[in-house]
Chain A
Amino acid sequence: MLDTYRKLETPENIDLDIHVAGPLVRGQAFLVDSVLRMIIQMAASYGFLVLGDTGIGLLLIFTFALEWFYPVLFEVLNHGQTPGKRLMNIAVVNDDNTPVGWSASITRNFLRIVDFLPMNYMAGLVCMTANKDFKRIGDLAAGTVVIYRERPAVAPQPESRAATPPPVALNVTEQRAILAFAERHTSLTSERQQELANHLEPVLHRRDQQAVDYLLRLAQWLRGGR
């Protein structure tokens, strides 16, 4: 298991896997948001300045709201995702994977200015690399974490393939490896499938396509096919 997965125990006594997002993907999301904010700001400037002095007043209020509340509003009202985070498929949640509320979101976003110190989010970056959940200072204070929203995986096609019982008893890890291979094989080229299957040649005494087919039949049996 890679070390960006965290176990989260729920009140139902099960462990959920959550996948925390690192500085790079969060930086990308931030860039997208920055560009979007710039565009909104420019559009608003043109829109409001038509109204003269009143427009300047409204524009300043709007700028203020955009500066401080752009991330807050999106995070609270849009399932923890600003447009940038949505594009990168990450989201802000509380430490216990519940949706963020106003207080937590305001805390983490107001403390952004501390994370920014001394320049370009250096404090935030140092802080993120110093703890295992990639939390910046605002996240630490608010008790929030940024996680991946997994894209729904493509369900493996059920196959009508003959099942073969394994020649020897396989332990759990071996069974899982074979099952994983069977589920992933459609996403690999046939050369890569064979290359992987050939690692087992000393055991299976088969090569290339034959080894692949044999493994798939084993997997079918492990899943319960007969």
Chain B
Amino acid sequence: MKQQLFEQQHGAAWERFERQLQALEHPRRQDATESLADFASQYRLICHLLALAQERHYSPYLIDHLNDLALRGHQHFYQRKGHVLHNIVQFVVWGFPAAIRREYRFVWLGVLLFFVPAFVMGTLTYFNPNMIYTVYPHEAVQQMVDMYDPANNKEMSDERGSSQDLQMFGFYIRNNVGIGFQTFASGILLGIGAVFHLLFNGLVIGAVAGYLTELGHVETFWPFVIGHGAFELTAIAIAGGAGLKLGYGLLAPGRLTRKQSLIQSARGAMPLVYGIFFFLIIAAFIEAFWSSSSVLPITVKLVAGGLFWLLVILYLSLGWRRGYR
């Protein structure tokens, strides 16, 4: 069949399909009235025409045009749309704990690489306060000590209004969530980046805790950190685990190609990243509006903090078991 005849016979079909595509691409435009009821069969027809045109070596313009239409149709035909809100609720109720259980090896590795150095460093610094200077410069230590000095702290936090709380909330979000994401992303460097972030943060946090405890700033430091720590520290450990999964996928692809293995690891790690985000937002909220409050008695903060830890551990370990796959 010659090209002209082909165009005469089928030209109407691809013009119609183009109008359908326009209606899909700009749904709000006035002239988007073309019916979409037979989009699927029209799409198949266009694919068929493209194959014919290629096979019969029609002119480049015609083939390019049909190729373009088929590409655009393909985009619309094979897209997935989910209900965002429903997905979020589902994720929080069981998706996140299920992901933790699915990736328990990496999560445990992250937890160990983070909490063990923190605990060891904390103990060492408690018995030998000079250890703090291995991870912190002198001035920074002084600043930190002032910040948690019980004498200073009372006055400072009384003055702090709710607008300042919001300011700190913004600061914590930007800073802490950023650290979480970095810990995850740097894991792709064969896991080394994630290990570095985990160890480094673990050592620093352990050293600070040990040093301040030894100094006797117990009643300002621990009530402040225990509440949001439940969410923040677990999130960092999980972020490290997710990063390690990325690195492991690249390092040990098994029977897949390295590229395919990396893609699969990244997909598997994504629920963890969503969860980290979720936890760090909660942590920032608690840190800004609850931990810093000077009105609440220390006992309340400690008890609530302990409950937060219990809640986090129960949530992650038991979760919503029905969703387990």
Contacts and interface: CB of A to CB of B under 8 A. Distances in A.
- 6 nearest A-B pairs in the assembled complex, by CB-CB distance: A224-B2, A60-B170, A224-B4, A57-B166, A57-B170, A57-B167
Contacts of B6: 224
Contact of B188 (A93, A111, A183): A111
Contacts of B193: 114
A62 B141 CA distance: 31
Contact of A54 (B58, B65, B163, B189): B163
B186 A57 contact: no
A225 interface: yes
Interface in A144-159: 150, 152-153, 155-156
A99 B60 contact: no
B275 to A, nearest CB: 13
B185 A103 contact: no
Interface of A: 10, 12-18, 52-54, 56-61, 63-64, 67-68, 79, 93, 96-99, 101, 103, 106-107, 110-114, 117, 137, 140-143, 150, 152-153, 155-156, 172, 175-176, 179-180, 182-183, 222-225
Instruction: Tell me the dominant secondary structure on chain A's binding face.
Output: helix
Given A57-B171, A175-B57, A97 B74 contact: yes
Nearest to B288: A57
Contacts of A176: 57, 59-60
A98 B79 CA distance: 6
Nearest to B258: A140
A103 B267 contact: yes
Nearest to A173: B57
Instruction: Tell me the dominant secondary structure on chain B's binding face.
Output: helix
Contacts of A224: 1-6
Nearest to B169: A57
A19 B70 CA distance: 14
B164 to A, nearest CB: 5
Contacts of B185: 110-114
Contacts of B74: 10, 16, 97-98
A156 B170 CA distance: 57
A68 B277 CA distance: 12
B174 interface: yes
6 contacts: A12-B44, A53-B163, A57-B171, A106-B273, A143-B266, A153-B64
Contacts of A97: 71, 74-75, 78
Contacts of A68: 177-178, 181
Given A14-B51, A16-B67, 7 more contacts: A13-B51, A53-B166, A97-B71, A114-B185, A141-B263, A141-B266, A175-B57
A183 B166 contact: no
B184 A110 contact: yes
Interface in B154-188: 161, 163-171, 173-174, 177-178, 181-182, 184-186, 188
B266 A107 contact: yes
Contact of A53 (B47, B167, B259, B266): B167
Given A13-B51, A16-B67, A111-B188, A53 B61 contact: no
B203 interface: no
A142 B264 CA distance: 9
B241 to A, nearest CB: 15
A96 B44 CA distance: 17
Contacts, number: 154
B182 to A, nearest CB: 6
B34 interface: no
A210 B59 CA distance: 23
A113 to B, nearest CB: 5
B50 interface: yes
B68 interface: yes
Contacts of B80: 98, 101
Nearest to B164: A53
Contacts of B267: 103, 107
B170 A12 contact: no
Contacts of B61: 153, 155-156, 183
Contacts of A13: 47, 51
B54 interface: yes
B78 A93 contact: no
A65 B181 CA distance: 13
Nearest to A54: B163
A112 B68 CA distance: 30
Which of A142, A155, A182, A224 is packed against the most chain B CB atoms within 10 Å?
A: A224
B59 A113 contact: no
Contacts of B307: none
A18 B259 CA distance: 20
B262 interface: yes
